[in-house]
Structure 1
Amino acid sequence: MDWQNATITHIETLSPRVKSFFFRLPEPMSFRPGQHVLIRLTAPDGYRAQRSYSITSAPGPGKAEELELAIERFDDGEVSPFMHDAAEIDDEIEIGGPIGGHFIWSPDDPGPVLFIGGGSGVAPFMSMLRQRASIGSRAPVTLVFSARTREELLFFDELSKLAGAGDGFSLTVTLTREAGAHSFRAGRIDAAFIGGVVAAMKMPLRHVLICGSDPFVETATEGAIASGIDPALIKTERYGS
């Protein structure tokens, strides 16, 4: 594992529980969309805690000099409370990686591809979609984004802009805990919903990627299989375990 002391250059609040942290890397890094890095914190007494976070930024044409990580605050976590409550611009944070070779997708792949993300599980898909846009890919991709409320739809403005580009990317949003008037689908993901999304794509799927919390991934995977998707096409990534 290669470790380096990255410097926080910018912090952006995405939702009440999620912030994006932008890091400048002293040693530029090559990575693939969907990979993640480790953040390691060391206490004065030498105790170390580390957690893995999906890279949100796109790799770019060469090695990345900066990384963006979308970090959700878990009250019982060892890393995320420090990042949310104590970390500041110009702080140096140990970052290791990149790691992971399973949950990746290259926009060079012709598709079609179905992404299903729950909450901050949208993070690796942002890297993939940003990379897709940067190289001018027209691979058919649909993102189903499930969030509890409208204010928890991370990167929604950017995703909406990408979906409006007319290049084969479409966005479907469902909210699970907001009963008020809104233009999105209401309710959890199930087999009938996923089946409808797949039917609208009108082409046989090549890949299905699902990312989110353990319960979300279990429910979405069961729904995908029940809708008729071949389990061999499905890859999953879980957080908060």
Structure 2
Amino acid sequence: MADRTAVPAFTSPFAPPTRFAVPGRIAVSGEAATAWQTATLTGIRRETPRAATFRLAVPRWAGHLPGQHLMVRLTAADGYTAQRHYSIASAPDDSGHIELTLDHVPGGEVSGWFHTVARPGDNVEVRGPLSGFFAWPGDRPALLLGAGSGVVPLMSMVRHHRARGLAVPLRMLVSARSPEELIYARELGAETTPVFTRSAPAGVPVGRITAAHVVSLLGEESDDGWEAYVCGSNGFAEHASRLLVAAGRPVDRIRVERFG
């Protein structure tokens, strides 16, 4: 699971009515967090050579906040089970569907099944939404920093921002090894600045996210109203967090989720 930092509390206008409090963060439905339900795979969309989006119909889905995740459980014929936590990629809506974008992890039991075995009509079990820590309900300016598949929960925030026509500023800085490995490349818009670490289009510098990237996105608006959301590997999360602190972001305004 992801490491998390302490943050000030606030409540969400989208939270379900039956709730328990995540320390320092948004209240989450206790009933939804503990109940497994059946989800049916309805579509698969290729994002990059290693990543794909899987659309699931979940008729009893209680709704979620951008940035939340869920648990997926697979059960084999002999009763063996495997389960993993995955961020929700889709924006909250009332369609009864959610989307997960998964990297094909070498040797991964669950991601391997999704990428090599799963077909529309297959069923899995899901439990969630889980954790209000990393959730962004759209009530304050947000700077999003992601690397690789760390862009997934951030894309839920971007989609929510667009779907609701929110006026609060939202900007995203995303790192990928190459344009071919940039997840959601076809969907990214003016709110997103991509950075490429291994190969880039002609005229675009290659390298890591820098302090200059962060400062340019915050500009003169770097006041206490902005929150930063960071998602990626341990190394990326630490690097991005240091840049944010150097740019003047208060530690209690930086939310971090990391994997690996």
The answer to whether 1:26 aligns with 2:59 is yes
CA RMSD of aligned residues (A): 1.7
- Give the Cα separation in 2 of the matches to 1:206 and 1:195: 13
Q: Judging changes above 3 Å, is the alpha-carbon distance between structure 1 residues 135 and 193 closer, same or farther for their aligned structure 2 residues?
A: closer
In the TM superposition, residue 45 of structure 1 has moved relative to its aligned partner by 2.5
Q: Per-residue displacement from partner, 1:28-57 (whole Å, max 9, x unpaired)? A: 321111111111111223221111111111
| Aligned-pair CA distance for 1:185 | 4.5
Give the alignment partner of residue 188 of structure 2, picking from 154, 159, 164: 159
Instruction: Say whether residues 1:213 and 2:233 are aligned partners.
Output: yes
Secondary structure in structure 2 of the residue aligned to 1:58: coil
Gaps of 5+ in 2: 1-33
> Which 5+ residue runs of structure 1 have no aligned equivalent?
164-169
Superimposed CA distance per residue, residues 191-232 of structure 1 (whole angstroms, 9 cap, x where no aligned partner)? 343233322x63425200001122211111122222332212
Q: Which moved more, 1:14-23 or 1:70-79?
A: 70-79
Map of 2:49 onto structure 1: 16
In the other structure, the counterpart of 1:46 is: 79
Partner of 2:243: 223
Once residues 245 and 222 of structure 2 are traced to their aligned partners in structure 1, the CA distance between those partners, rounded to angstroms, is: 17
Q: Distance in 2 between matches of 1:47 and 1:185?
A: 48
Equivalent in the alignment of 1:237: 257
Q: Which of residues 70, 83, 102 in structure 1 aligns to 2:133?
A: 102
| 1-structure distance, mates of 2:239, 2:205 | 17
Please show how residues 75-114 of structure 1 align to structure 2 within 5 Å.
75-107=106-138, 109-111=139-141, 113-114=142-143
The equivalent residue for 1:57 is 90
TM-score by length of 1: 0.88
Verify the 8 A CA contact 2:59 2:97 in the aligned structure 1: no
In the alignment of these two chains, the number of paired residues is 226
The percentage of counterpart residues that share the same residue type is 39
Higher strand share: 1
Verify the 8 A CA contact 1:71 1:80 in the aligned structure 2.
Answer: yes
- Please list every run of at least 4 consecutive aligned residues from structure 1 whose deviation after the TM superposition is greater than 4 angstroms: none
Equivalent in the alignment of 2:100: 69
Which residue number corresponds to residue 202 of structure 1? 221
TM-score (ref. length: structure 2): 0.82
Q: Deviations over 1:69-109 (max 9, x none)?
A: 001111132211111111111101111111011001112x1
Alignment of 1:132-143 (within 5 A): 132-143=161-172
Q: Which moved more, 1:31-40 or 1:226-235?
A: 226-235
User: Within 1, Cα distance between the matches of 2:88 and 2:147?
Assistant: 16
Distance 2:200 2:176 in 1: 13
